[in-house]
Structure 1
Amino acid sequence: MTNSVDAIVLGAGVVGVSAAVHLQRRGLAVALVDRKMPGAETSYGNGGLIQREGVYPYAFPRRLSVLLNYAGNRAPDVRYHVGALLKTAPFLLRYWRHSRPDRHAAIARLYAPLIEHCVAEHRMLAEAAGASDLIRHQGWFKIFHDARTQEAQTREAQKWFDEFGVAFEACNAAALRQAEPDLSPSLIGGLRYPDADTVSDPGALTAAYARYFESLGGRILHGDANTLEPGWSVRTQEGVVTARAAVVALGPWSSDLVNARLGYRLPLAVKRGYHRHYAPAPGARLTHPVLDVANGFLLAPMSRGIRVTTGVEFADRDAPKTPDQIAAVEPMARELFPLGQAIEAEPWMGARPCTPDMLPIIGPAPRHRDLWFAFGHAHHGLTLGPVTGRLIAEMMTGAETFVDSAPFRADRF
């Protein structure tokens, strides 16, 4: 059986689902194709932050002292597999070059218009999907053990405010304890970003957006994106689906299709990460996500418990798990907040799709007509899912785009 639609969206993470929603809302008949259920992969495992403050994407460290610290491969926030580090060395060199302060500032000016709309676009989709209860409008905290780190982070927050109007609140130890009384009394203070939203279950939010897509008449099909053929067609369990246009929103798997099968040479890499849920100790409560800046892990109150997320692991995407970071930060997390038993038998692992210039790839494929790209969001996939979905739908339907799309085109490489 052959099915015909206007557009195929490949990938049912938050970016792909959001693109499918916005295309369907604009009157196109859309098929959303993935091998798993919506929100079951990368969009499931993150800190649940919609980062309105995230105007500066995460840069590669350039200070020699920081790099030497990471070289020992024992830092809690960054780990690596030696073989993967050697294989991705050209990518990392480009990443390091783009992280030069003046270049990073220029990138932030291109990136900030996307970030500016992230909260509003999520709230709009969540309300339409009947999922507003999954989003909390209370912000999140960075927390500090020492004055030097606090002062440096406060200067950075002031810079973001001066350049982009990103609000922040500096908190001393007493104010932090008032907001989160069960955190360790050894903390000296924090920074709160009040305009950011947080999510109690990112996977459930993505699934809710997918149900909204279906309520609009969209179809969710199970299939292998790597069967995509120019034309465009893809094989699914429900039969072959054909369409005038296709959108690649496969996150860390985008390179399998775009580079390996379609012949592009886009510079894509992954940063792996881990999380695990813990029950809070009896009587303990955490209201806001809190980032331990010194040690690079996040505690986030989720529907399943307290989610402990790690920093970055440079490794092959499909290499076996090496959850050393979770093992390293769990004792620190327990000192920070009274955690009970782990809920899962083992940590979850996922991969963040990254580009060396820290900007996502959003727009038309350079060499294939009616093929569109929407991937490479690194640490901000959840944050920018609905923004990207709206932008790609506007581009595909010839509408005026609500932000300038030029910085994110694939032909910049």
Structure 2
Amino acid sequence: MSNKVSIISYNCQCANDSKLPFLRELFDECDFMLIQEHGLYKSQFGWFDNINEVNGVGKHGMSAMNEEKQSAGRPYGGTAIIWKHGLNVKVEPKITESDSKRLSAVIVTLENQKRLLLGSIYMPCDDRCQNANLVEFQQVLNEIDILMNELNPDFACFGGDFNTDVSRDTFQTRCFLNFFADYHICTQDELCDFDFTFSSKGSNHKSLIDHFVLTDSLVEALQVYECIDTVNNFSDHVAVKCQLDLYMSEFSDISEHEEQTKKCYNWSIANQEELDRYVDMLSEILHLLVIPYCALNCREKHCQRHSRELNEFHDKIVDACLNAAFHVMCKSSQKPKCKVIPGWNEHVEVYFKNALLATAIASGSTRSFWSEVKKYNRSKNVSRYPNVDGVQGKDSIAGMFADKFDGLYNSVSSVNWIW
């Protein structure tokens, strides 16, 4: 594989033989293809080999079709990622804990051992309401969040039919923008030169709902971002292509300053003189920053312009702290083994787990609920029989609960319950 990696995202609206000519055209132009709404059963994934009749394709996907049921109407849903054989990379399929049918993901290990997370996404329709579709939309975002935190890749690229037009002010659009802003993942809509990616053949309604989303570390690597559409395209969607140069100097030749700022600053051994110098230098740098007063005083909750200004201001403050520490602080020789988020365990983790559990309950999915309960209670050091109100041992605890329930049950006289 050359320095440039080409990725195409395409909602094919049912993978069948009539779609093969266009799929073959697209596959000739890319290394990886992210496919949505293929409508295939899991047992039919061998059909993807028809896209490259000579060598076949590498493939990983999720099916929304139930093998045990006879489905009426046209096939629906599903996501997949296919790639060319012979690429000098290692591709590992990743399956989310909820087994989501709307997200297929692979980890691509490059020649320089950098790891790229690729995801093909097919989101539910935006009906502009706070209902089951929005809950499902948030569940897919949660799965992305879990993958990012568990795999901690060097880069991430998500492409697909997000069913979200960022020009609309809807609940789903706000959720989309807020989520990716929080994780410093930027949409590339502002770089494209096309007005739509979906055009309804029935109503001719047009919208830009197919996107690529990149981590900040890939923004400078983006070389091409374009649409592909020919007479062989029988889908309402056009294909979207992005080309990344993953071996640019920004990634291979890390400067001494960048290398140093990646190290841990050993605050515990810093003397008072170093701390005073750090405070003085940080104060000097911060005094040079221009404070965005209009953005700070804005009371519009979803103001995009001021959100960008605040994010930029935040990044400048972080850079100021790192620059001051780089010049005056002692540095340890060890790098952190994993991505560390200060204060996560103390202030965030319990709320994050509660939010995932609440989402699972709200969705009405029994499987998702118990999956979240299992993750919530996961611990290596949990006592088998805990202490409950001073009572220990499984038999004693069970007896206590029985007594409490018996007292509660007998404390209420006959009531005519109305359901």
- Relative to the length of structure 1, the TM-score reads 0.22
Larger relative contact order (Cα-Cα within 8 Å, sequence gap ≥ 6): 1
Give 1 or 2 for the bigger CA radius of gyration. Answer: 2
- Relative to the length of structure 2, the TM-score reads 0.22
- Greater strand proportion: 1
